[in-house]
């Protein structure tokens, strides 16, 4: 049996009591947008698999200024009305393929070649247990190459489901927080933590859904680092 360290116990206790977390943002549906923009700025993200379509996430992925390398987005949705709403909002963008499936949504995993994707977003279902089941199904795939982003990562069920991932970075500048999980090279952590630091630096100046300003901020930071090297 592996016993938790004192620091781990303190960290979990602080989370349960609500200490160390920023107040929940009024636009809590959009707090994962800055990290998605940052990941697209730091890495070449070409193909995306999205569990749970959204006016924030899906349209951010299709924004050519913000995500210039994206060529394909597969978005999996279980709500027919929301499915139709996103299809209309995307204005027939040929890079987007919408997939309407039934719960459990993790049953759709076998229909996709997961190794073909650079980024997988988990933001599906209003039922926490259902989303945790999907995350756990992904976490068990030890050979998975994609970065996995999970919204609402402060939720204990999601953190527990993510345990099989070898690497994780939590971006907690906004509440709800977003976790970035992956199985491959642990050295990616330094870049992802750098993205998280930039978000924290600008979080008091920018709204989470201001994708244009976030993209400009990441480009500015990248240009500055290049100029001083």
Write out the H or E segment, with its range, that includes residue 96. strand 96-100
How confident is the prediction along the chain (229 residues), in pLDDT tens digits per residue? Answer: 333 333 333 344 344 444 567 999 999 999 999 999 999 999 999 999 999 999 999 999 999 999 999 999 999 999 999 999 999 999 989 999 999 999 999 999 999 999 999 999 999 988 899 999 999 999 999 999 999 999 999 999 999 999 999 999 999 999 999 999 999 999 999 999 999 999 999 999 999 999 999 999 999 998 645 443 3
DSSP 108: G
Domains of the chain as residue ranges with CATH: 20-228 (3.40.50.150)
Q: What is the pLDDT of residue 4?
A: 36
Cis peptide before 104 (omega within 30 of 0): yes
Residues 6+ apart with CB under 8 A from 12: 4
As given in the structure block, the two tokens for residue 72 are 């394909």
- Closest residue by Cα to residue 57 from 81, 76, 78: 76
Q: What is the pLDDT of residue 222?
A: 80
Residues 6+ apart with CB under 8 A from 201: none
Q: What is the pLDDT of residue 223?
A: 65
Residues 6+ apart with CB under 8 A from 108: 51, 76, 99, 101
- Closest residue by Cα to residue 52 from 63, 61, 42: 61
What's the rounded Cα separation, in Å, for the pair 11 and 17? 10
Q: What is the pLDDT of residue 228?
A: 35
- Closest residue by Cα to residue 172 from 197, 205, 194: 197
Q: What is the pLDDT of residue 225?
A: 54
β-sheet bridge partners, residue 170:
179
Q: What is the pLDDT of residue 177?
A: 97
Q: What is the pLDDT of residue 20?
A: 62
What's the rounded Cα separation, in Å, for the pair 113 and 47? 11
Q: What is the pLDDT of residue 112?
A: 96
What's the rounded Cα separation, in Å, for the pair 149 and 54? 14
- Closest residue by Cα to residue 103 from 74, 73, 128, 125: 125
Question: pTM of the predicted model, to two decimals?
Answer: 0.89
């Amino acid at each position: 049996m592996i016993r938790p360290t004192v620091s781990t116990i303190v960290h979990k206790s602080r989370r349960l009591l609500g200490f160390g977390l920023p107040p929940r943002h009024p636009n809590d549906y959009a707090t994962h947008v800055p990290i998605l923009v940052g990941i697209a700025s730091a890495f070449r993200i070409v193909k995306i698999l999205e569990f749970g379509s959204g006016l924030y996430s899906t349209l951010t992925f299709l924004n050519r200024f913000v995500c210039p390398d994206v060529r394909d987005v597969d978005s999996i949705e279980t709500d027919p009305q929301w499915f139709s709403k996103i299809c209309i909002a995307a204005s027939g963008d040929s890079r987007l393929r919408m997939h309407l499936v039934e719960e459990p949504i993790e049953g759709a995993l076998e229909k996709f070649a997961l190794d073909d994707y650079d980024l997988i977003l988990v933001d599906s279902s209003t039922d926490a247990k259902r989303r945790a089941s999907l995350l756990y199904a992904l976490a068990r795939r030890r050979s998975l190459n994609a970065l996995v982003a999970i919204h609402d990562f402060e939720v204990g069920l999601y953190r527990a489901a993510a345990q099989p991932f070898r690497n994780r970075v939590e971006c907690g500048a906004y509440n709800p927080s977003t976790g970035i999980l992956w199985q491959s090279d642990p050295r990616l952590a330094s870049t992802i933590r750098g993205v998280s630091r930039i978000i924290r630096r600008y979080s008091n100046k920018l709204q989470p859904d201001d994708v244009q300003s976030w993209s400009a901020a990441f480009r500015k930071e990248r240009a500055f680092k290049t100029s001083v090297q």
